[in-house]
Amino acid sequence: MTTEKASLLGDERMSLYNTKKKSSFGKYLKYLTHVVVIIGTVYLCLSNMTGSEPVGVDTNKKKNVIFMVTDGMGPASLSLARSFKQFRDQLPMDDVLQLDQHLVGSSRTRSNSSLITDSAAGATAFSCGLKSYNGAIGVSSDSEPCGTILEALKLQGYMTGLVVTTRITDATPAAFSSHVDQRFQEDMIAEQQLGEYPLGRMVDLIIGGGRCHFLPKSQKGGCRSDDRNLVEEAQHEKGWNYVGNREQFDDLKQGHNVQFPLLGLLADTDIPYDIDRDPKVYPSLAEQVKVALTALSKATKDSDKGFFLLIEGSRIDHAGHHNDPAAQVREVLAYDEAFKDVLKFIDETETDTIAISTSDHETGGLVTSRQNSPHYPDYVWYPEVLLNSTHSGEYLSSKIVNFTSSTDDVTTLDKFIAKEILEKDLGIMDYTQEEIETIKHFSNDQSNLLYVLNNLVSVRSQTGWTTHGHSAVDVNIYAYTNSKQISSQLISNKPYHGLLGNHENIEIGAFMESITGVDLDKITKLIKKTKHSITTKFNSIQVDEMHHGAY
């Protein structure tokens, strides 16, 4: 068979641009400013006539929808990672990331409650297609459960999956598969993800971290406030197949040996940053994605419905919060590898498939420049500093705290910091005694220590950060499809139609709804009785801590 490959950079999109350029009104714009409005109107009419109208997608035709989220990745993260990779691999300057080749637009990210969104409202904008408040997981701005694209597609007969590198109960995956008023209700999120709510089980495949909220506190790695063991319940009462370590993950044979439903929880909380990851213990995001794509496509092979898969590069955001450029470039590149595998899958499958990749927001206020002194700066930043850095600040701060607790000898600690951490792990040779003193000062305080270490790397590489939190900068939208029909709709720049150009984040949710023909309001009616309010008594310290840890 011949699958029509309709890359978004292909003919249709080019001809759209060319036709626009040919508009002879263009050259008068400069001079005739007083008729700008009239010209604008004509221009819009023209562009409507030249192919930006959707041709319509057959919503009944079998499809796969792969929705990919780079949590906390703004445009500067791509510049940083691209230059880092070119430097590391000695590539020419026209060597770009996989993502770079499939840029279609940008997304405005504000939430219902703030110009700066969190990941919960950000993901709910995609999953329910509506603006909610920061903290909202699959609930509307008045805290009512809202039907999600994952639920709607599952009820239509699609298979569904979630693949992440953080806790599966964290905001992004949660907003597709559960409904709670506040993101820190992770115990309840875990229950719903396994099927304890009016719709029953909606997720067929889970691969990520986050055993914590599936296990009672009394158990190693557990943090549930009740004494339920959801991992055991899932296996023995609910029919899930559980995978809890690398060995069992490898037994899935890259997706050829998966029994559904699959619950893969590979870490108590986060899977380590890619820069720290021991491949003998944890798979990469690309390996997780491979398992999911193979297993889901095999399972839907004889079905007239495809699958919906959410993939999140979750910890790009964490590196942003930590202001850790060395960890972040590796997270972005690991995601780009996974994206490459998704593209390959799309090229090879005979089923109409679309991958959309975007971010919920930017994190860190990252810029690829930094003025370190009052003098006017040179126009440089130094990727080699990120290459010299072989671990994240998260890992190294833990290493220092561990070492500190094992010795009382100040000279030993001095030497450890200088030789082991700075010279060996970070490749920093020009450190000062003052910097060693600062590290020693925080050598028992991991959360501040990681900022100190990451700052050494950021200053020397001239990487700039403006916040430890999120920012309101627009983020990119990428897409790729093997379907001519979907492609035609994608390149529409009309609000709530396509994704070309600049869009509100909820339009991305609306786009997935329109190509699959689902009606989320119908789902919303079915889940009215979902338990979603805060029932456990959280004391205010706990809530504070959760907000602090909540990204």
The binding site for Mg(2+) comprises 71, 170, 172, 312
3-state secondary structure of 442: coil
Catalytic residue among 52, 111, 119, 127, which? 119
Shortest Å distance, C-beta 396 to ligand NAG = 7
φ/ψ (deg, to 5) at 247: -60, -45
What stretch of H or E contains 207? strand 205-209
Cis peptide before 261 (omega within 30 of 0): yes
Q: Is 119 a catalytic residue?
A: yes
Q: Which of 85, 102, 131, 179 binds ligand NAG (CB under 6 A)?
A: 131
User: Beta strands of 131-184 (E only): which ranges?
Assistant: 159-167
For 210: left if phi > 0, alpha if psi spans -120 to 50, otherwise beta; the answer is: left
Of 392-411, binders to ligand NAG (CB under 6 A) are 395, 398-399, 402
Q: Does 3 bind ligand NAG (CB under 6 A)?
A: no
Could you tell me which stretch among 89-97, 259-267, 384-392, 478-486 binds ligand NAG (CB under 6 A)? 384-392
Minimal distance, residue 378 CB to ligand NAG, in Å: 15
Q: What is the 3-state secondary structure (H, E, C) of 370-406?
A: CCCCCCCCCCCCCHHHHHHCCCCHHHHHHHHHHHHHH
Q: Does 429 bind ligand NAG (CB under 6 A)?
A: yes
- Residue 540 CA, chain-centre distance (Å), reads 29
In angstroms, the CA 534 to CA 549 distance is 18
The 3-state DSSP class for residue 243 equals strand
Residue list 466-525, contact with ligand NAG (CB under 6 A) = none
- Residue facing ligand NAG at closest CB distance: 141
Query: If we measure between CA atoms, which residue out of 548, 547, 551, 543 comes closest to residue 225?
Result: 543
**Of 317, 336, 435, 513, the one binding Zn ion by CB under 5 A:** 317
Q: Which is nearer to ligand NAG, 13 or 131 (CB)?
A: 131
> Residue 361 interacts with ligand NAG (CB under 6 A)?
no
Stretch that binds ligand NAG, among 260-268, 351-359, 426-434, 476-484 (CB under 6 A): 426-434
Does position 141 interact with ligand NAG (CB under 6 A)? The reply is yes
Q: Given the complex with ligand NAG, which of 286 and 459 has the nearer CB atom? A: 459
When binding is defined by CB under 6 A, the residue of 112, 143, 241, 284 that contacts ligand NAG is 112
Q: Rounded distance, CA 155 to CA 183, Å?
A: 25
Which CB atom, from 25 or from 87, has the smaller least distance to ligand NAG?
Answer: 87
Please state, as a whole number, how many other Cβ atoms lie within 10 Å of the Cβ of residue 184: 23
* Number of chain positions touching Zn ion (CB under 5 A): 3
Contact positions toward Zn ion, by CB under 5 A?
317, 363, 551
Mind telling me the catalytic residues?
119
